[in-house]
Chain A
């Protein structure tokens, strides 16, 4: 089994914050100009932000935004990417050629421009951020899934399954997915991190989460402006983001090792 440990704990906390956040008695939007940039103290554990709003409350609210964006973007990207990549490689021929060209075009296209353009066309807002980032995000997974499938297509057990006349779908699900899932999961863990950061980048251009809502990314962006005078504003979301990304990646690592062992035993049989 995978050891969950502290990373597991942190991620559970993240999840818990994301799910319960909207129901807690928080005041993430209460502006109190007297408290602008007041540092952490007895009344407020993490201090106040540039509008005198409690940073802790906003951190909890931001947890759910960032979770929502990361979860949906990565899920959508992985599903679409894996599906397209695997089938394209498996089917091969002209279909594959076309898919590869499309993937290439998307990869060669600067992602930030695509995201800006899409957000501009659809209007700002967190749902549109999910769509924009998914449109950019699926390509990486598709490419990886395709490469993996190509290299596995010729592995003994797949060739064997084909020659035994196994149904295609079954080959893909039974023999390909388990083997390509490991690198995809690793890619997905990195994906969570980069999605959270990309969301912040769009917020930076005003296309992400709209005020007064908060995401960790937008909090870091705002906080960086006041770094000289109120470091707590940028430290709190920065550390939260770092812990989550770190935990996701550590768990991803453990998952990979675990799958590696399993995968190898299958092949060596």
Chain B
């Protein structure tokens, strides 16, 4: 096995590599520390996790299946597949065992290691290895969503204990093994099933990324192009573009403590004044779906029967005139957005649509760090942003519960609704998934009615590839798992 791997890796010419164009560069390949989307997506290829999610975001077994012996005691049993660690200078033919699981999670739980993932699993009180294939997790308090938190890639125990750094290397048991990272914008991985080499190349500029694809310098790219460039690519010979709906949620957030925006009528007027169909038709991708809630309708806790705020400028004007505002005496609102050109483009359209019903919007774009700092501090009237990769409905407590005002959580709009608080707590206590889902649906109804957010849409995903590239599929959260099956046809 090893010999054959060596032989074929020597035989493969680097020209056979499949090159993937990234819009942002991964920062760290250490699953204990990586938080950015690009790193997380590559880590999914390099490491296996205990638990994964299906398309409805239900937790499903990945490395391990589980059962809840009591509400605070979970037993995980490792399965046969995906347990062979990649060979490296430090280890040969090692197989993943429960000791590795314990070492990885113990490391994250230790507060002095300052892992950004610690708090999400801080309810773990103890981890005990039962045997090589069985491991028990004991919790401080019951949390039915718990298995969904165990999504961190498992590292070999020896490496964790030796304090080895994994930022720019990897020793995972995933479908891919790490080759090298010669410079910041270039990472090379090898698919373990057939030794196919993959190069991940960071190309920040959208136009340049398209040109590189057309020139054959990259074979594949995913997302982050203006719609017009996607249409342009669709018209080029020798390439294909594939779209699918996604789950990443874009919204407008309000400061509910603001003297103007705390008025229900104002927030409703804004919801009615935005013509989402038009924006989606002209500037978003074709598979973008209008959103009515944070979780998409096909999520297990999603609500497909929510009543949307359809575009109705007349109703918006009516609501505003009741409050004494009209086109001649407009309401003035400051609207903050990040300086990403695509975000500015959308915000400018919204500015125009609000102007038509008599809301004068002062648009301000900031670099990401400043923007993010401002909204966290509550220094805004209105802003827009997206939630990316949300799987578990524990997000509702984090975003809308009255105790989750930053820095404790992400209730940046200082939203305070006792009914919502109560529904969140009730859902967490639900006996089975069906009951919890029912409460979460009610919760989303209440949120849509009271509008701490105006939900906008779930952005689509797409990929563009040379026609010689076959077998790639898009995931609902935009991960790169499709690379496990992709191949080049001649």
Chain A interface (Cβ within 8 Å of chain B)? 29, 31, 33-34, 36-37, 50-52, 116, 120, 123-125, 205-207, 210-212, 221-222, 224-230
B90 within 8 A of A: no
Q: A206-B339, A212-B351 are in contact. Are A37 and B365 (CB under 8 A)?
A: no
- State whether A211 touches B347 (Cβ < 8 A): yes
- State whether B229 touches A228 (Cβ < 8 A): yes
B276 to chain A, nearest CB (A): 12
| Residues of A with C-beta under 8 A to B338 | 206
Q: A51-B345, A206-B338 are in contact. Are A229 and B229 (CB under 8 A)?
A: yes
Q: Which of B434-479 contact A (CB under 8 A)?
A: none
- State whether A229 touches B283 (Cβ < 8 A): no
A7 to chain B, nearest CB (A): 32
- Picked from A31, A51, A124, the residue with its CB within 8 Å of the CB of B366 is A124
- State whether A207 touches B367 (Cβ < 8 A): yes
- Picked from A36, A116, A211, A212, the residue with its CB within 8 Å of the CB of B283 is A36
Q: A31-B352, A33-B349, A211-B347 are in contact. Are A206 and B367 (CB under 8 A)?
A: yes
B63 to chain A, nearest CB (A): 42
Residue on B nearest A36 in the bound complex, by CB: B282
A-B contact pairs, 17 of them (CB 8 A): A31-B348, A33-B278, A33-B281, A33-B282, A36-B283, A50-B226, A120-B366, A120-B370, A123-B364, A205-B339, A206-B340, A206-B344, A207-B339, A225-B206, A225-B207, A226-B226, A226-B229
- State whether B207 touches A224 (Cβ < 8 A): yes
| Residues of B with C-beta under 8 A to A123 | 364
| Residues of A with C-beta under 8 A to B366 | 120, 124, 206-207
Cα separation A210 to B351 with both chains bound (whole Å) = 12
- Picked from A31, A34, A211, the residue with its CB within 8 Å of the CB of B344 is A211
| Residues of A with C-beta under 8 A to B348 | 31, 51, 211-212
B310 within 8 A of A: no
Residue on A nearest B369 in the bound complex, by CB: A120
B324 within 8 A of A: no
B7 to chain A, nearest CB (A): 43
- Picked from B228, B281, B367, the residue with its CB within 8 Å of the CB of A37 is B228
B interface majority secondary structure: helix
- Picked from A34, A52, A222, the residue with its CB within 8 Å of the CB of B341 is A222
Cα separation A192 to B338 with both chains bound (whole Å) = 29
- State whether B367 touches A116 (Cβ < 8 A): yes
B221 within 8 A of A: no
| Residues of A with C-beta under 8 A to B282 | 33-34, 36, 52
A interface majority secondary structure: loop
| Residues of B with C-beta under 8 A to A229 | 228-229, 231-232
B210 within 8 A of A: yes
- State whether A230 touches B370 (Cβ < 8 A): no
Q: A36-B282, A124-B364, A230-B228 are in contact. Are A31 and B341 (CB under 8 A)?
A: no
A53 to chain B, nearest CB (A): 9
- State whether A211 touches B363 (Cβ < 8 A): yes
Cα separation A264 to B336 with both chains bound (whole Å) = 57
Q: A50-B228, A120-B370 are in contact. Are A29 and B352 (CB under 8 A)?
A: yes
- State whether B226 touches A225 (Cβ < 8 A): yes
- State whether B363 touches A210 (Cβ < 8 A): yes
| Residues of B with C-beta under 8 A to A228 | 207, 210-211, 229, 232
Interface flags for B191-208 (1: CB within 8 Å of A; 0: not) read: 000000000000000110
Cα separation A6 to B228 with both chains bound (whole Å) = 38
B214 to chain A, nearest CB (A): 9
Cα separation A147 to B359 with both chains bound (whole Å) = 55
Cα separation A37 to B228 with both chains bound (whole Å) = 9
- Other contacts beyond A50-B226, A206-B340: 17, CB < 8 A: A33-B349, A34-B282, A50-B345, A124-B366, A205-B339, A205-B367, A207-B366, A210-B364, A211-B347, A211-B348, A211-B351, A211-B365, A222-B341, A226-B226, A226-B228, A228-B207, A229-B231
Cα separation A207 to B337 with both chains bound (whole Å) = 12
Cα separation A37 to B351 with both chains bound (whole Å) = 19
A36 to chain B, nearest CB (A): 6
Cα separation A226 to B225 with both chains bound (whole Å) = 10
The 3 A-B residue pairs whose C-beta atoms are closest, nearest first, are A206-B339, A33-B282, A206-B365
| Residues of B with C-beta under 8 A to A224 | 207
A161 to chain B, nearest CB (A): 52
| Residues of B with C-beta under 8 A to A221 | 341
